[in-house]
Homo-oligomer: A and B are copies of this chain.
Amino acid sequence: MKQCWEQVAGGVTAPQGFRAAAVRCGLRQAEANDLGLLVCDSQGSAAATFTTNRVAAAPVRWSRATIAKGKVRAAVVNSGNANACTGARGLRAVEATAAKAAELLGLTPDNFLIASTGIIGRYLPVEKLLAGLPRAVDALDGSLEAGERFARAILTTDTTLKQAALRCDLGGGACVTLGGATKGAGMIAPGMATTLSFLTTDAAVARPLLQRMLRRAVELTYNRISIDEHMSTNDTVLCLASGLAEARPVRDGTPAARRFEGALTELCRILALKIVADGEGATRLVRVEVVRAPSEQAAVAAARAIADSPLCKCALHSGDPNWGRFVSAAGYACPQLDEAKTRLFIGGKLAYAAGAPADVTEAELAAEMAGRDVTLRLDLGLGKAKATVWTCDLSKEYVAINADYHT
């Protein structure tokens, strides 16, 4: 498909019909905003995907139910506390948050998706959050700056802001805008939907179609990244569509739908890669491509095994072309692998073929791993399927961050 989108400035408020705000409630120790509010000015449509972890946070349980009702048009997000493993008291905190936000905005509680991120297993100090909500409502604004403040308020151990926006040409002169903000640097694993992500668009897309498109986009992007293979209790990807652009509704099976889904997938990919690039302690962004696999499932399994292995990630950290680790990871993940047919490339150089080392020097391979961006390509020689997974290296800094995060 020809690319029909271009990146534009801003994030969640780039599309028409969205206002955002961020305030500080004191949920985080850092002097930073920790409460974000995102509101769609119209009753458009909404879609979302959530963690598949059986230990699901209270806000995830609430939001699954409200998304099913089909009325979501706003989101309240806090950082600093995950409100997970908090039982009935955690759920009451979510209900109080939605009730208060609804009252302040003249909406109903089921108009709200609630999301939380931060420490697991501590009760959310909900009174602080409720005290901050009126200020957040007062601060709601449709500017790009307000969108950026929202994006900053949802961060935890992140070191970089993570937002993006695309302008998409649907064809026939109609254009729509998509925007998004995401967070995440640790507890990132390919599960179902990883981390928190808030996507907005002024396209008009009916809810079932938006849900299908979002699910496919997430599968190819958020579900193909890994920092530490630990699936969170709070993963949520929300997409709100205001329908306020001057464009006809996006209908299933049309060229406009294909263009819109392409842009939505690209937006998710841009945001997901910002997460990997900011992986806790990470110094490299690694693209693991598996090609000529017998099935997409096999390709994903082999790519993930390489992307997840601490041994592979340590070799990637030091830029050491210890390719036996990459090949052996694929070997335990892919039961169809045949050494005689397998080839491994590091960057542009062949490292391993026909079950033996290729004719290449270690210095040549090391040169391919020296930069911030590294590509590993595993050619299984078995079929036509392929998959790409993005990961980062494992550094002492990751251990330092995660040995000390709790206290």
| A356 touching B233, Cβ below 8 Å | no
Give the contacts of A303-336 with B (CB-CB under 8 A): 308-312, 314-315, 317-318, 320-325, 327-332, 334-336
Q: Given A328-B55, A352-B85, answer yes or no on A399-B396 (Cβ-Cβ < 8 Å).
A: yes
> From residue A256, how far is it (CB to closest CB) to chain B in Å?
37
Please indicate the chain B residues that have their CB under 8 angstroms from the CB of A395 in the complex: 399
Which listed segment binds B: A34-42, A114-122, A131-139, A289-297? A114-122
Please indicate the chain B residues that have their CB under 8 angstroms from the CB of A320 in the complex: 403-407
At the interface, yes or no: A66 with Cβ under 8 Å from chain B? no
| B403 touching A399, Cβ below 8 Å | no
| B84 touching A328, Cβ below 8 Å | yes
CB-CB nearest in chain B for A191: B332
| B82 touching A119, Cβ below 8 Å | no
Chain A positions 81 through 98: 1 when the CB is less than 8 Å from some CB of chain B, otherwise 0: 010111111100000000
> From residue A87, how far is it (CB to closest CB) to chain B in Å?
3
Chain A positions 9 through 27: 1 when the CB is less than 8 Å from some CB of chain B, otherwise 0: 0000000000000000000
| A356 touching B87, Cβ below 8 Å | yes
Please indicate the chain B residues that have their CB under 8 angstroms from the CB of A404 in the complex: 318, 320
Give the contacts of A215-257 with B (CB-CB under 8 A): 228-233
At the interface, yes or no: A187 with Cβ under 8 Å from chain B? yes
| A228 touching B121, Cβ below 8 Å | no
From B52, B229, B339, contact of A310 by CB (8 A): B229
CB-CB nearest in chain B for A227: B310
At the interface, yes or no: A371 with Cβ under 8 Å from chain B? no
Please indicate the chain B residues that have their CB under 8 angstroms from the CB of A334 in the complex: 54
Q: Given A53-B331, A55-B337, A187-B311, answer yes or no on A403-B82 (Cβ-Cβ < 8 Å).
A: no
CB-CB nearest in chain B for A308: B229
Q: How large is the interface on A (under 10, 10 to 19, 20 to 34, 35 or more residues)?
A: 35 or more
Q: Given A54-B337, A55-B339, answer yes or no on A327-B120 (Cβ-Cβ < 8 Å).
A: yes
In the bound complex, how far is the Cα of B354 from the Cα of A56, in angstroms? 13
In the bound complex, how far is the Cα of B335 from the Cα of A210, in angstroms? 27
Q: Given A311-B186, A339-B55, answer yes or no on A324-B119 (Cβ-Cβ < 8 Å).
A: yes
| A311 touching B89, Cβ below 8 Å | no
From B51, B231, B315, B356, contact of A85 by CB (8 A): B356
Tell me if A's interface is mostly helix, strand, loop or mixed.
loop
In the bound complex, how far is the Cα of B189 from the Cα of A329, in angstroms? 11
| B322 touching A405, Cβ below 8 Å | yes
CB-CB nearest in chain B for A57: B328
In the bound complex, how far is the Cα of B354 from the Cα of A87, in angstroms? 7
Q: Among A119, A362, A400, which residue has the most Cβ atoms of chain B within 10 A? A: A400
> From residue A387, how far is it (CB to closest CB) to chain B in Å?
18
From B232, B318, B399, contact of A314 by CB (8 A): B399
| B339 touching A54, Cβ below 8 Å | yes
CB-CB nearest in chain B for A324: B120
In the bound complex, how far is the Cα of B222 from the Cα of A197, in angstroms? 41
Give the contacts of A332-358 with B (CB-CB under 8 A): 332, 334-339, 352, 354-357
Q: Given A310-B230, A311-B187, answer yes or no on A324-B54 (Cβ-Cβ < 8 Å).
A: no
Q: Given A187-B311, A328-B233, A357-B121, answer yes or no on A399-B394 (Cβ-Cβ < 8 Å).
A: yes
| B328 touching A232, Cβ below 8 Å | yes
| B324 touching A84, Cβ below 8 Å | yes
At the interface, yes or no: A43 with Cβ under 8 Å from chain B? no
A-B contact pairs, 25 of them (CB 8 A): A51-B332, A53-B328, A53-B332, A54-B338, A54-B339, A55-B330, A55-B332, A85-B324, A85-B352, A86-B355, A86-B356, A87-B339, A120-B325, A120-B328, A186-B311, A191-B332, A230-B332, A231-B332, A233-B331, A314-B403, A314-B405, A315-B406, A320-B406, A322-B406, A395-B399
